[in-house]
Amino acid sequence: MTKKLFGTDGVRGTANTWPMTAELALRLGAAAGRYFRNDGSNGHRVVIGKDTRLSGYMFENALTAGLTSTGMNVLLLGPVPTPAVGLLTTSMRADVGIMISASHNPHNDNGIKFFGPDGFKLSDEAEAEIEALVEAGVEPTQAGNIGRAKRIDDGRFRYMERLKSTFPKGRSLEGLKVVIDCANGAAYKVAPEVLWELGATVVPVGTNPNGTNINDGCGSTAPQAAAEMVVTHGADIGICLDGDADRVILIDENGEIADGDQLMALMAARWADQGKLQGGTLVATVMSNLGLERFLGGRGLRLERTAVGDRYVVEAMRAGGWNLGGEQSGHIVMTDYATTGDGLLAALQVIAAMAETGLPASRLLRQFERVPQLLRNVRYAAGQQPLSSPTVQAVIEGAKARVHGQGRILIRKSGTEPLIRVMGECEDEALLAQVVGEIVAAVETAAMAHAAE
């Protein structure tokens, strides 16, 4: 069954524009309620978390209305990170968890992500069945079976205790100064409090959400402000989360930025040395740098690549029995500790490595030399299919032939925005810039030609 509503990470779009409308959210809640309350009993429950977007109130209420109309009992967590929803779905014995967030997107966007009773994101098949129920319509339950809604005030504290429990016993962050950028998002309370309770001196950034400033010049997609704070305050490390705190970008003591590939390289090497890396395999997406693959190969380890999206990383990890994976963008998944990407959890693992080795972040976060990589995005209008153009395909094939043996070309549609992502890697940076530029120009020309038809 082809999905129309769900992308690579739930349903996402501009608030009050299809599909992210209150009406659709209500229908989606009703469909999810019918899907998970399939035996007609009244003991079923769902936990709902959200980030700090203004539209989160609207979607929280609409989802609650739809869910309770089918007999589901709703537990409202308020603003919490996405990994907290995965954790609390299992610990509160819920049938489903829902996170209202558009992650790293601007505040006008929002999204709805689903977690199954095991705390993992739903499969494509489950999402397709829920989407079919949305299209078919769902009959509400009888009046006496309408569900209840309840605020859960200690959800973030339960999550905080879980985070702290993953830090090595007997160690603290005393003497460590940490810049933490919460992107004015879901972790604006959780992250600084966890670091402070573990003993760090905390320099907070992006901890004053107002409903419209999430990811605005801060967070993992804009780490420059935090990098400046690291240098200014003489911090040992900087941590940049995104709007729902499931991804992280780290900054060393010199203000240098390290992406998810460097973090995964560090953890894979450490876990392999400790005998903890299951199957000697790291799972990452097709976007991860060739330098990471070469680094792992040099240590007798394997890189398993997947499609872009942390859910596909997790699916591969579960299928292969592997316990470490992630994305270059900063989703780091450690199934020994969590069911989804967790930015703060990953950062704590790096800080633990600093404490155990005595090495600074600048040493630990430079595990390999990156192959020059260039990523450019081309926006297109609804209904356009520029990649289907024979001219575009010819340019792409020509580019691949020119970098063969010293790099690669990857072209894909974004699963969350109307963008075509053109990514190239090549040892020859001049050639890289040339071939990526040619592909971008061809895609832009095809898109304009389609618009003129």
Tens-digit pLDDT profile for residues 111-168: 999 999 999 999 889 999 999 999 999 999 999 999 999 999 999 999 999 999 999 9
pLDDT-based confidence at residue 450 (cuts at 50, 70, 90): low
When pLDDT is averaged across residues 420-437 and rounded to a whole number, the result is 95
What pLDDT shows up at residue 124?
A: 87
Stated pTM of the model: 0.90
Q: Is the model's pLDDT at 3 over the cut of 70? A: no
| Average pLDDT for 100-108 | 96
pLDDT at 87 over 80: yes
Mark whether 123 is an active-site residue. Answer: no
Task: Tell me which of 55, 103, 220, 329 is the catalytic residue.
Answer: 103
Query: Where on the phi/psi map is residue 170: left (φ > 0), alpha (ψ -120 to 50), or beta?
Result: left
**At residue 410, does pLDDT exceed 60?**
yes
Report yes or no: 365 and 258 within 8 Å, Cβ to Cβ: yes
Question: Can you list the domains of the chain with their CATH numbers?
Answer: 6-152 (3.40.120.10), 174-257 (3.40.120.10), 258-364 (3.40.120.10), 373-452 (3.30.310.50)
